[in-house]
Amino acid sequence: MLTTTLMRHPVTTCEAVQSIDVRVSRVRWASSEATSGLALTYTLVGDCSRLRIPVSGPPALADGLWQHTCFEVFIAVADKAGYGEWNFAPSGNWATYQFRGYRDRELSAQDAPPPQLVWRATAQRLELDARFCLPPRFVDRPLRLALSAVIEDHLGKLSYWALRHPPGKPDFHHADGFALEIAPLPKEIAKKDLR
């Protein structure tokens, strides 16, 4: 498990947010067959009364989550061109997309198993835990991750946060953003049941 800090893109502002940290770990749990996944915890510290946080509801697949407050992860196999994108909103909504190359989108992964999402909000803190299965092409492979967040303030203004920003405008899909490398789980790690 490791923890890293997201940086705000310099052309965007958000005085309400002091910091956004992300804790990342690979997980394995029992199902009909061994399944590999990721567990992410996003922790935003700041004045949550000055943010627009989507209203909680039943978890559902939804498109366009990046237009409001949401947390994201982009995942690529270390030596391959394609990548996947996962979006998680504090409302419980989520989305996942697959790409052949830079912004060359395949079909939305409508039949992907839904992630397990848990979120908590206080006056000074917003946390979102996301646990999800990885598609077969990402299992037991070294991965590169681009961690990011879109934060909407109370006036509707968006700020963009990432582990690393490429030059120019905010672009979470850019290869320079895939800055976190994580190794596969050792084979001897016991399976965890996250149900």
Q: What is the pLDDT of residues 100-157, one digit of tens each?
A: 999 999 865 556 688 999 999 999 999 999 999 998 889 889 999 999 999 999 999 9
The predicted pLDDT at position 107 comes to 65
Within-domain flag for 120: yes
Distance CA 159, CA 12 (A): 5
Within-domain flag for 22: yes
Asked if residue 26 has pLDDT above 70, the reply is yes
Tell me the sheet residues that pair with 28: 36
The boundaries of the domain holding residue 157 are: 2-182
Within-domain flag for 98: yes
The count of structural domains within the chain is 1
Within-domain flag for 128: yes
The two three-digit tokens of residue 45, written as one number: 């510290």
* Least confident window among 68-72, 81-85, 128-132, 190-194: 190-194
CATH number of the domain where residue 122 is located: 2.60.40.1190
* Contact indicator for 108, 96 with CB cutoff of 8 Å: yes
Within-domain flag for 194: no
* Residue whose entry in the numeric block shows the structure tokens 């996944």: 37
Cα dist from 184 to 26, 81, 86, whole Å: 7, 18, 19
Within-domain flag for 190: no
* Contact indicator for 69, 90 with CB cutoff of 8 Å: yes
Within-domain flag for 44: yes
> Which region holds residue 135: left if phi is over 0, alpha if psi is between -120 and 50, else beta?
beta
Distance CA 142, CA 158 (A): 32
- A 10 A CB-CB count for 95 gives 23
Mean pLDDT value across residues 17-34: 81
Within-domain flag for 191: no
